[in-house]
């Protein structure tokens, strides 16, 4: 099944039909997406600022990361579910939209690097080979998620 | 403890979000119906060339001879200019053709997808391939 | 000569810079995108403090320490939000005047500012007594819950502005 046929299938589901008809469905889902985005972004920012040595530098990174991980995973789940729901309202537009494609492309490395950082930080007190590597990872993570956010906003503007 | 927080925040968000559709009059319910494509032909009476959406207004004569004013919602100035439509291309009094989706609340409002100017030039406001009225798919 | 608030908004709306921003191809999308993404800097950071007050995150760190580390970030984010927000208002002042979602957002912003002020001058004054307590005082938890609820509602109201234009 190609990606195109996946989107075409999705465009014809009962869910999509409901979203097309509903006057408020998309708006409500999007609002949850926005609030979750704010919370997710804040949590990711804090963890990576700790990695950069800027936030609570005297506390172990693992303590901060572990403390915030339920929030990070919870809001990420909400973002994923609400995102998939929003696509159903305009599946073919999303498929063809350059910003949406960028967002999907950037989301994968963003998620992977966040996962890898989280995995290392939770497991070991010296998660990175050097301080420079840690800072590079933090900057890369923040830059990727920021780019995901920009691409997401751009979907509506293109 | 966690439940209490969840309930309160949920209520706060819930109340805020449901105030919107309940109290919104025209604008909110005027999301567009993908199954109601329409073609309007009319004289431009007003152009609102602004972000986040442009609006242009047409006096459209129906087959009974009655004239009604219709609002057409387009993309922002950036999106339109990237598709080849500039502010000056829409001149008051011009007769233009608009293919679009009707508003869900049935009002005289369309989500303008394809605009055809008097000189024959035609601009597609959607994303090519999205299947909207006037989509050539290229 | 007295000028009504609406006339003032209309006047702002019609100025050259406001019109240029409103009709711009790129500037408005950029300003609006910064405003939207800055939600993470304001709501996202203050939520961490609120969650600490609720005993849900960073429990091993004293409340006052979390506040001292978080709030500078929140204020910087708020400055960005305020500047972009004012620009957005300026560019469509006439529409904003009539917009019920915009008016609600302003009321909510006033409340979300009042909440920490009251908190700071009342229960927070005794923070040394409960800085590392297993549970923070009820009034602190109330302020945190209100903060979370109000900020969420502000985000929703802000998004709803477009639906009432």
pLDDT tens digits, B59-74: 999 889 999 999 999 9
CATH class of B31-138: mainly beta
Minimum-distance CB partner of B77 among C24, C100, C150? C24
**CA angle centred on C124, ends C118 and C128, rounded to 5°:** 170
Q: Is B24 on the interface with C (CB under 8 A)?
A: yes
CA distance B90 to B68: 19
Q: Any CB–CB contact under 8 A between B28 and chain C?
A: yes
Detail the DSSP E strand segments found in chain B: 32-48, 54-61, 67-74, 95-103, 109-116, 122-124
What's the pLDDT tens digit per position in A70-115?
Answer: 999 999 999 999 999 999 988 999 999 999 999 999 999 999 999 9
User: pLDDT tens for residues C48-62?
Assistant: 999 999 999 999 999
Which of B:92-131 have CB within 8 Å of A?
A: 104-105, 126-131
Q: Quick check: C40 and A40 CB within 8 A?
A: yes
Chain B residues with beta carbon closer than 8 angstroms to that of A21: 33, 104
Span B107-116, pLDDT tens digits: 899 999 999 9
State the helix-helix crossing angle for C138-160 and B2-23, rounded to 10 degrees: 30
Residue with the larger pLDDT of the pair A151 and B21 = A151
Q: CA A136 to CA A141: how far, in whole Å?
A: 8
A residues 78-97 near C, CB within 8 Å?
A: none
**Banded pLDDT at A20 (limits 50, 70, 90):** confident
Cβ contact A36:A75 at 8 Å: yes
Q: Give the residue extent of every domain in chain A.
A: 3-154
Answer whether C40 touches A (CB < 8 Å).
yes
Collect all residues of chain C within an 8 Å Cβ-Cβ radius of residue A149.
Answer: 37, 40
Question: Touching check for C64 and chain A: CB below 8 Å?
Answer: no
pLDDT at B26 over 70: no
> Considering only CB atoms, which chain B residues are within 8 Å of A97?
127
Residues of A in contact with C62 (CB under 8 A): none
CA distance A48 to chain C (A): 13
Q: Is A76 near chain C, with CB under 8 Å?
A: no
Instruction: Give the closest-approach CA distance of C40 to chain A in angstroms.
Output: 4
Chain C residues in contact with A67 (beta carbon < 8 A): 57-60
Cβ atoms of residues A10 and A16 within 8 Å:
yes
Residue whose entry in the numeric block shows the structure tokens 């970030």: C73
Residue A42's contacts (CB-CB under 8 Å, 6 or more residues apart) are: C40, C41, C43, C44, C45, C46, C47, C48
- A37 with C40: Cβ contact below 8 A: yes
Nearest CA in chain B to C141: B5
Q: Which residue of C23, C57, C107, C138 to mutate against B (max B Cβ within 10 Å)?
A: C23
Q: What is the pLDDT of residue B30?
A: 44
* Per-residue model confidence (pLDDT) at position B19: 60
Q: What percent of chain A has pLDDT over 70?
A: 100
Among B residues 39-78, those touching chain C with beta carbons less than 8 Å apart: 49-53, 76-78
Q: Do B130 and A92 touch (CB under 8 A)?
A: yes
Question: What tens digit of pLDDT does each residue of A26-63 get?
Answer: 889 999 999 999 999 999 999 999 999 999 999 999 99
**Cβ–Cβ gap C69/A56 under 8 Å:** yes
- With an 8 Å Cβ cutoff, are B13 and C156 in contact? yes
Q: What angle do CA C2, C4, C10 make, to 5 degrees?
A: 125
Summary mean pLDDT of chain A = 93
Question: Which chain A residue shows the shortest CA-CA distance from C162?
Answer: A27
What mean pLDDT is predicted for residues A130-155?
95
Give the model confidence (pLDDT) of B13-22 as tens digits.
Answer: 656 655 655 5
Residue C97 pLDDT > 60: yes
Residue A23: how many other CB atoms lie within 10 Å: 16
In angstroms, the separation between the Cα of residue A76 and the nearest Cα of chain B is 17
A24/B29 Cα distance (integer angstroms): 7
Which of C38, C54, C57 to substitute to test the interface with A, most A CBs within 10 Å? C57
Out of C21, C24, C149, name the one closest to residue B8 (CB): C149
* Residue B96: φ, ψ to 5°: -125, 160
A74 vs C: CB within 8 A: no
Contacts of B68 (CB under 8 A, 6+ apart): B59, B60, B62, B108
pTM exceeds 0.95, yes or no? no
B13/C contact by beta carbon, under 8 A = yes
Instruction: Find the closest chain B residue to C53 by CA distance.
Output: B5
């Amino acid at each position: 099944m190609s990606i195109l046929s996946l989107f075409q299938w999705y465009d014809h589901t009962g869910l999509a039909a409901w979203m097309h008809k509903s006057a408020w469905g998309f708006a409500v889902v999007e609002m949850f997406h926005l609030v979750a985005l704010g919370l997710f972004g804040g949590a990711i920012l804090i963890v990576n600022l700790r990695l950069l040595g800027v936030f609570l530098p005297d506390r172990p990174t693992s303590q901060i990361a572990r403390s915030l991980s339920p929030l990070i995973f919870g809001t990420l789940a909400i973002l994923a579910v609400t995102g998939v729901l929003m696509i159903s309202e305009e599946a073919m537009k999303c498929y063809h939209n350059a910003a949406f494609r960028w967002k999907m492309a950037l989301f994968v490395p963003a998620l992977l690097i966040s996962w890898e950082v989280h995995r290392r930080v939770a497991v070991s007190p010296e998660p990175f080979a050097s301080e420079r590597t840690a800072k590079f990872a933090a900057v890369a993570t923040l830059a990727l998620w920021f780019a995901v956010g920009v691409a997401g906003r751009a979907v509506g503007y293109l | 403890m966690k439940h209490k927080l969840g309930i309160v925040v949920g209520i706060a968000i819930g109340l805020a979000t449901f105030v919107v559709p309940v109290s919104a009059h025209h604008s909110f319910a005027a999301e567009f119906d993908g199954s109601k494509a329409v073609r309007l032909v009319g004289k431009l009476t007003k152009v609102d060339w602004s972000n986040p959406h442009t609006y242009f207004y047409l006096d459209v004569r129906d087959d009974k001879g009655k004239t009604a004013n219709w609002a057409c919602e387009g993309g922002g100035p950036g999106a339109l200019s990237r598709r080849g439509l500039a502010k000056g291309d829409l001149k008051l009094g011009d007769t233009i053709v608009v293919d679009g989706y009707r508003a869900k609340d049935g009002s005289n409002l369309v989500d303008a997808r394809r605009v055809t100017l008097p000189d024959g030039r035609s601009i597609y406001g959607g994303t090519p391939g999205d299947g909207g009225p006037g989509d050539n798919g290229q | 000569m007295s000028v009504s608030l609406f006339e003032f908004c209309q006047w702002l709306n019609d100025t050259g810079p406001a019109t240029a921003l409103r009709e711009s191809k790129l500037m408005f999308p950029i300003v609006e995108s910064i405003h939207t993404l800055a939600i993470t800097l304001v709501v996202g950071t203050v939520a961490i403090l609120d969650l600490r007050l609720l005993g849900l995150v960073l429990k091993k760190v004293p409340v006052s320490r979390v506040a001292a580390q978080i709030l500078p970030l929140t204020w910087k984010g708020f400055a960005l939000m305020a500047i972009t927000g004012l620009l957005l208002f300026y560019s469509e002042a006439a529409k904003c005047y009539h917009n019920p979602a915009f008016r609600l957002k302003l009321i909510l912003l006033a409340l979300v500012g009042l909440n920490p002020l009251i908190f700071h001058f009342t229960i927070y004054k005794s923070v040394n007594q409960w800085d590392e307590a297993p549970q923070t005082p009820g009034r602190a938890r109330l302020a945190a819950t209100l903060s979370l609820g109000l900020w969420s509602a502000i985000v929703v109201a802000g998004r709803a502005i477009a639906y009432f234009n």
